[in-house]
């Protein structure tokens, strides 16, 4: 792995494009995407259905390597890395929060939190200590022995955020993180993201919600695979409070 230049952005995409073959032609999903995300940013990606938001997030999350152009993440040229190196970079750098929680039903809350740590070279006592600290940080110690089905939607998403943070990633990628929550639960999750960002975690979220986008400090708008606009926000909520 290349040593990162501390002055470089955490994410840098240059002329990134993605297409799917359809007959003799290509269907373009992303076109000429240039994007920089500095470490410590809170970025919202918005656009209508079919704009390319989820495709872009899958590329940023190293789930999709079939694109053209260049993509550097934490100083590493993703477009030049093999599958194993991409996977190692993903484990070391990224935490994911999904709309559907993606908790494992057969595991308790504590076991769900420990799972990402099991992929690292950590002894069991170290993993247990990190899980205990995370349970305390997110105030879910009392839920540690419960299973996802015993939790409300908001509690499941809180556990999902805790799981994303348990390995201390540099970057959180969130795909419609409040889509299955009612408004009060959604606000709590977004306020949690603001606190995490204030502590130094870089966050990129995909959202249809202008309210949720207002919690970030920059909005990138996509339409038909193109970046069609960017704007700064005050952050902290829809009114910048």
Structure tokens at 164: 């994303």
Q: How many CA atoms lie within 13 A of 180 on its CB side?
A: 16
Relative to beta strand 94-98, strand 76-77 is: unpaired
Q: Residue 98's pLDDT is what?
A: 84
Q: What is the 3-state secondary structure (H, E, C) of 52-73?
A: CHHHHHHHHCCCCCCCEEEEEE
Structure tokens at 203: 């966050």
C-alpha span between 28 and 175 (Å, rounded): 21
- The DSSP output letter for 138 is T
Q: Residue 240's pLDDT is what?
A: 47
- CA 31 centroid distance within chain: 22
Query: 10-residue block means of pLDDT along the chain (241 residues)?
Result: 72 97 90 97 93 94 95 96 94 88 92 89 92 92 96 91 89 89 85 91 93 93 96 73 46
Q: Residue 6's pLDDT is what?
A: 65
Long-range contact list for 228-236, CB < 8 A, 24+ apart? 233/44, 235/42, 235/194, 236/194
Residue 121 CB partners (closer than 8 Å, separation 6+): none
User: Where does 40-66+81-232 sit in CATH, by number?
Assistant: 3.40.50.300
C-alpha span between 44 and 159 (Å, rounded): 22
**80-117 burial string, b = 16+ CB within 10 Å, else e?**
ebeeeebeebbebbbbbbbbebebeeeebbbbbbbebb
Residue 165 CB partners (closer than 8 Å, separation 6+): 95, 134, 172, 196, 201
């Amino acid at each position: 792995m290349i040593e990162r230049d501390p002055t470089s952005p955490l994410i840098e995409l240059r002329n990134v494009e993605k297409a799917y073959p359809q007959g003799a032609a290509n269907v373009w999903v992303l076109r000429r995407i240039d994007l920089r995300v500095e470490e410590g940013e809170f970025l919202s990606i918005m656009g209508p259905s079919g704009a390319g938001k989820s495709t872009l997030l899958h590329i940023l999350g190293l789930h999709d390597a079939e694109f053209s152009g260049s993509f550097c993440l934490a100083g590493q040229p993703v477009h030049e890395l093999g599958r194993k190196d991409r996977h190692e970079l993903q484990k070391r750098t990224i935490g994911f929060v999904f709309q559907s929680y993606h908790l494992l039903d057969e595991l308790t809350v504590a076991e769900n939190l420990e799972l990402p740590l099991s992929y690292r070279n950590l002894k069991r006592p170290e993993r247990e200590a990190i899980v205990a600290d995370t349970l305390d940080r997110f105030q879910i110690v009392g839920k540690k022995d419960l299973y996802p089905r015993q939790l409300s939607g908001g509690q499941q998403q809180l556990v999902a955020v805790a799981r994303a943070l348990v390995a201390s990633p540099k970057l959180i990628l969130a795909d419609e993180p409040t889509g299955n929550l009612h408004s009060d639960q959604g606000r709590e999750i977004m306020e949690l993201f603001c606190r995490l960002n204030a502590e130094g975690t870089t966050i990129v979220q995909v959202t249809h919600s202008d309210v949720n986008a207002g919690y970030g400090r920059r909005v990138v708008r996509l339409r038909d695979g193109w970046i069609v606009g960017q704007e700064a926000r005050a952050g902290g909520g829809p009114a910048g409070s």
